[in-house]
Amino acid sequence: MSDYPTIPLETFREYPLEEMRARLKAFYEDVNRRRTVRDFSDRPVPRDVIETALRAASTAPSGANMQPWHFAVVSGPETKRKIREAAEAEEREFYGHRASEEWLAALAPLGTDADKPFLETAPYLIAVFLQKFSEEEGEKVKHYYPVESTGLATGILITALHHAGLATLTHTPSPMKFLNQILGRPSNERPFLLLVVGYPAEDATVPDITRKPLDEFTSFIDD
Q: Judged by CB under 6 A, which of 25, 27, 144, 172 binds ligand IYR?
A: 172
Contact string (CB under 6 A) for ligand IYR, positions 191-220, x = contact? ------------------------------
| Residue placing its CB nearer to ligand IYR in the complex, 34 or 164 | 34
User: Maximum distance among all alpha carbons in the chain?
Assistant: 60
Q: How many residues contact ligand IYR, by CB under 6 A? A: 9
- Burial level of 112, CB count in 10 A (0-12/13-18/19+)? middle
Shortest spacing between CB 37 and ligand IYR, in angstroms = 13
Which range binds ligand IYR by CB under 6 A, 49-57, 156-164, 168-176, 185-193?
Answer: 168-176
DSSP lists the bridge partners of residue 124 as 197
Assess 66 for contact with ligand IYR (CB under 6 A): no
Q: Judged by CB under 6 A, which of 173, 191, 198, 200 binds ligand IYR?
A: 173
| Residue placing its CB nearer to ligand IYR in the complex, 112 or 134 | 112
| Residue placing its CB nearer to ligand IYR in the complex, 115 or 135 | 115
Task: Decide: 44 and 123 in contact? Cβ < 8 Å.
Answer: yes
Spatial separation of the C-alpha atoms in residues 170 and 158, rounded to whole Å: 9
Shortest spacing between CB 92 and ligand IYR, in angstroms = 10
Shortest spacing between CB 183 and ligand IYR, in angstroms = 18
Beta carbons within 8 Å of 90's beta carbon, 6+ residues apart: 173, 174, 175, 176, 178
Spatial separation of the C-alpha atoms in residues 44 and 24, rounded to whole Å: 32
Shortest spacing between CB 40 and ligand IYR, in angstroms = 14
Which range binds ligand IYR by CB under 6 A, 40-48, 56-64, 107-115, 159-167?
Answer: 107-115
- The amino acid that residue 140 corresponds to is K
Spatial separation of the C-alpha atoms in residues 162 and 146, rounded to whole Å: 24
Stretch (H or E) spanning 171: strand 167-171
Task: Decide: 112 and 20 in contact? Cβ < 8 Å.
Answer: no
Contact string (CB under 6 A) for ligand IYR, positions 74-93, x = contact? -----------------x--
Assign 105 to helix, strand or coil. Answer: helix
Residues that bind ligand IYR (CB under 6 A): 91, 94, 107, 110, 112, 171-174
